[in-house]
């Protein structure tokens, strides 16, 4: 399923006449100061940005805050967008950077442990894994990967994001991305195994 199809399935949004204007045109209008054009960009990409943010933050309220922050940052940085890559790719980069900055800030302040659902840390909950949704625990473990691995895993499993697009977001060659992906999976498996052992 393509990303657009996934969004339409989730939101029930059908393509309308405004979809005829492509993102680049909207970006150009936004760069010349049109807030309406930027609103249209928000409308088109809000679900994607929210989902990326949610997968990093694993909390609905934080995800909304981060999605807002990402759009605001995108608005401020829009003048510097030259159209070398698609707007979606650029927005992924802005969102991922915003979320990772916040996560690192929280790690420095040791606030990561304070998320209500996580108890001890993002993966260990104090309950046996079987009692909790194991899949949700696995998803939470992605946030414990290093920044770039967390980013590529998050983007890869977001519906429809291709390796090419992720390579553009990360600004690395395709081969490097594949190596990173392999290492990220290995690291994730290690983290999950460790967590399962701790909780088992």
Partner 1 sequence: MAEIAISSEELDNLIEEALSEEPFLKAPLSLQRGVEARVRLISLREHEKRRFSVSMLTLTLLFFGSVALSGILLWFTNLSVLYTDGVSGGKGWFDYYATAISLSFSSYQGAYSLVISFLLALATLFLAGALQIHKMIYSD
Contact positions toward partner 1, by CB under 8 A?
6-7, 9-11, 33, 35, 38-39, 42-43, 46-47, 49-51, 54-55, 60, 64, 67-68, 71-72, 75-76, 128-130, 134-136, 138-139, 142, 153, 157-159, 185, 188-189, 192-193, 196-197, 200
Q: How far is 110 from 144, CA to CA, in rounded Å?
A: 14
Name which of 60 and 173 has its Cβ closer to partner 1: 60
Name which of 11 and 176 has its Cβ closer to partner 1: 11
* Minimum gap (Å) between residue 175 Cβ and partner 1: 22
Name which of 173 and 182 has its Cβ closer to partner 1: 182
Task: List CB contacts of 10: < 8 A, sequence separation 6 or more.
Answer: 47
Cα torsion 103, 156, 25, 9: sign: negative
Name which of 9 and 25 has its Cβ closer to partner 1: 9
Phi and psi angles of residue 147, each rounded to the nearest 5 degrees, phi first: -50, -55
* Minimum gap (Å) between residue 42 Cβ and partner 1: 5
| DSSP secondary structure of 142-168 | HTTS-HHHHHHHHHHHSTT--HHHHHH
* Minimum gap (Å) between residue 151 Cβ and partner 1: 14
Name which of 110 and 200 has its Cβ closer to partner 1: 200
Query: Of 50, 41, 9, 7, which is closest to residue 22 (Cα–Cα)?
Result: 41
Pair of tokens at residue 129: 């894994």
* Minimum gap (Å) between residue 199 Cβ and partner 1: 9
* Minimum gap (Å) between residue 32 Cβ and partner 1: 12
* Minimum gap (Å) between residue 120 Cβ and partner 1: 18
Name which of 153 and 169 has its Cβ closer to partner 1: 153
Q: b/e per residue, 71-95, with b = 16+ CB within 10 A? A: bebbeeebeebeeeeebbbbbbbbb
Q: How far is 156 from 75, CA to CA, in rounded Å?
A: 25
């Amino acid at each position: 399923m393509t990303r657009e199809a996934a969004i339409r399935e989730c939101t029930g949004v059908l393509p309308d006449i405004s979809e005829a204007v492509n993102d680049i045109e909207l970006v150009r209008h936004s760069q010349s100061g049109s807030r309406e054009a930027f609103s249209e960009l928000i409308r088109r990409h809000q679900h994607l940005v929210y989902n990326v943010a949610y997968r990093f933050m694993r909390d609905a309220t934080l995800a909304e805050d981060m999605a807002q922050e990402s759009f605001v940052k995108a608005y401020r940085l829009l003048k510097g967008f030259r159209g070398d890559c698609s707007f979606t790719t650029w927005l992924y980069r802005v969102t991922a950077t915003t979320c990772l900055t916040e996560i690192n800030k929280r790690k420095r302040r040791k606030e990561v442990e304070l998320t209500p659902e996580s108890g001890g840390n993002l993966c260990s909950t104090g309950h046996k894994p079987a009692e909790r949704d194991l899949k949700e625990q696995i998803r939470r473990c992605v946030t414990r990967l290093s920044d770039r691995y967390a980013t590529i895993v998050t983007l890869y499993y977001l519906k429809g994001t291709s390796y090419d697009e992720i390579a553009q977001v990360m600004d690395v060659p395709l081969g490097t991305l594949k190596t990173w992906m392999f290492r990220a999976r290995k690291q994730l498996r290690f983290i999950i195994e460790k967590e399962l052992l701790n909780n088992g």
